[in-house]
Amino acid sequence: MKSKSILKDMTPYKPGKQIEEVKEEYGLTRIVKLASNENPFGFSDKVAEFFSNHQSMLNIYPDGYTAKLRKALAEKLNISENQLIFGNGTDEIVQLIGRAYLYPGVNTVMASPTFPQYKHNALIEGADVKEIPTINGYHNLTEMFEAIDDNTNVVWLCSPNNPTGAVIPPDDFFTFMEKCPSDVLVVLDEAYFEYVEEEQRLNVSANIEKYHNLVVLRTFSKAYGLAGLRIGYGIAHQAIIPRLDVVRGPFNTSTIAQEAALLAMEDDEFLQSSIMRNRAIKKSFEKSLDSLGWGYFDSQTNFLLISTPISGDEIFQFLLKNGFIVRSGEGLGAPNTIRVTIGQETDMQELQELLFTLDKRISEGLAP
């Protein structure tokens, strides 16, 4: 059987180590997972209460139009219902954009490092990939614009950027949009939008009518704490949505995910509490890194990309043996770094102590 030839040169997504796997491998009883940028504070009590008192009809297919959530979200964002598309996380919408707009003979422009699924899906569809190095974690929009040519179909912007956490300044973004050819699709991935401080938010949903070539991606996986249910959404001009719907599966988001997202969206108290707790704990963790002398990238997210004195893989292994799962930057295109999700306050304090111990070993010339 013959598959696409590019698949022989690619590897499947490799998820981080799971908690039970690490416990068994290292003989540990407690593991703190800080690798996947999940919300350590859980999810809304309204979601928990609903599923304690209601039983979803699991034998019935979900609403393929996502009508209830669509109506509520459109009202919240002050947009039309036909300007929304829902996906099995924003990962699926990235895939849908690739299927609809990328193919052999066209190219796509993106930052490096950035969310790897942009490149992954582009290669599968046969498109050429142009990667523009970031500057101190920030998108180099000048060079990204210069990389656009007559064969460019999609430009990917990730703000805040994963894995660096840096946001695109609003003025720079809108300048880019004004210059970008109107026949080039610009995808603005705002998976961490809720964590961004108000004055640095792009708030582009109101500009969808102005920029017919813009797609904004957001998710309920991060700040809302619904990562296990996999539901995200895209906002775009009504002319774009039908093209994405054509390549979308008819029942791509589950009934449970739709119900949970609707309830989570209504619980602003939980959302704001998570955001403020994240900021306070992150600030404290940054101070500890300052005293340690380890650098880190400016981040408007629930994670930090930390510069390390030795390989990120070595730091990863040391922390793993001590019960902490983080993400090595080596596989993210950021050598000598680790990406750490901001966790519970006590867990982050314990992590700080481990890093001080590790730094001392390194300074003494000892192995991690």
Every domain of the chain with CATH number 3.90.1150.10 lies at 5-43+269-364
Q: What is the pTM of this model?
A: 0.95
The per-residue pLDDT for 87 is 98
> Crossing angle, helix 312-321 and helix 345-363, to 10 degrees?
120
Angle, vertex CA 82, rays to CA 206 and CA 68, nearest 5: 100
Token code pair at residue 326? 């983080």
Question: Cα 23 to chain center, whole Å?
Answer: 27
Question: Given 3.40.640.10, 3.30.70.270, 3.90.1150.10, 3.40.50.1110, which CATH number is that of 45-267?
Answer: 3.40.640.10
The per-residue pLDDT for 295 is 97
Q: Are 124 and 6 in contact (CB under 8 A)?
A: yes
Which one, of 139, 246, 259, 252, lies nearest residue 189 by Cα?
A: 139
Which strands form 107-112's sheet, in the order they lie side by side?
84-87, 232-236, 214-219, 185-189, 152-158, 107-112, 128-133
DSSP element (H, E) containing 112? strand 107-112
**CB-neighbour burial class of residue 59 (10 A; exposed 0-12, middle 13-18, buried 19+):** exposed
CATH hierarchy code of domain 5-43+269-364: 3.90.1150.10
The per-residue pLDDT for 23 is 86
How many angstroms separate the most distant Cα atoms in the chain? Answer: 62
The per-residue pLDDT for 319 is 96
Every domain of the chain with CATH number 3.40.640.10 lies at 45-267
The amino acid at residue 120 is: H
The per-residue pLDDT for 16 is 65
The per-residue pLDDT for 144 is 98
The per-residue pLDDT for 136 is 95
Q: How many CB atoms lie within 10 A of CB 244?
A: 19
Q: Tens digit of pLDDT per residue, the chain (368 long)?
A: 888 888 888 888 777 667 888 888 888 889 999 999 999 999 999 999 988 887 777 889 999 999 999 999 999 999 999 999 999 999 999 999 999 999 999 999 999 999 999 999 999 999 999 999 999 999 999 999 999 999 999 999 999 999 999 999 999 999 999 999 999 999 999 999 999 999 999 877 778 889 999 999 999 999 999 999 999 999 999 999 999 999 999 999 999 999 999 999 999 999 999 999 999 999 999 999 999 999 999 999 999 999 999 999 999 999 999 999 999 999 999 999 999 999 999 999 999 999 999 999 999 887 78
CA distance 292 to 128: 42
